[in-house]
Amino acid sequence: MQRAETTIAGQRAVRVLPASPREGPPVLLLHGMGLGRWMWARDQQIWAELGLESVAIDLPGHGLDAGRDCGFGEILDAADAVCKALGSSVVVGHSMGGMVAQALSQENDLSAMVLVCSLPPGQVNTLPPRQALFAGIKQLRRVARGRHVRFSKEDYRKTGLNVLGPDTVDEVYAQITEWPRQASMDLLLKRPSVTAPSCPVLVTYGLQDRVCPPRAARLTGDHYDAVTWRFDDLGHVPPLEPGGERLAQAVGEWICSPTRRKVVEVDAFSPGEGVGQDVRQQRRPKARPRSHVRRFRRRGPDPD
Domain residue ranges of the chain, discontinuous segments joined by +: 2-264
- Whole-number pLDDT of residue 156: 97
Give the rounded percent of residues in the chain with a pLDDT score beyond 90.
80
CB distance 98 to 239 below 8 Å: no
Q: What is the pLDDT of residue 279?
A: 62
Of 98, 103, 39, 56, the residue nearest 76 (C-alpha): 103
CA dist 272 → 166, 277, 278 (Å):
63, 15, 14
Q: Average pLDDT of the chain?
A: 90
Residue 35: the pLDDT is 98
Q: What are phi and psi of 63, to 5 degrees?
A: 65, -135
The separation between CA 8 and the C-alpha centre of its own chain, rounded to angstroms, equals 22
Q: DSSP state, 149? A: B
Residue 276 has pLDDT above 80, yes or no: no
Q: What is the pLDDT of residue 287?
A: 54
Backbone angles phi and psi of 136, in degrees to 5: -70, -40
- pLDDT (0 to 100) of residue 126: 86
Listed in sequence order, the DSSP H helices in 87-195 are: 96-107, 130-137, 140-144, 153-158, 166-173, 181-189
Q: How much is the pLDDT for 242?
A: 93
Over 80: is that where the pLDDT of 280 sits? no
Q: Compute the average pLDDT of residues 148-177.
A: 96
Q: Which CATH superfamily is domain 2-264 in?
A: Alpha/Beta hydrolase fold, catalytic domain (3.40.50.1820)
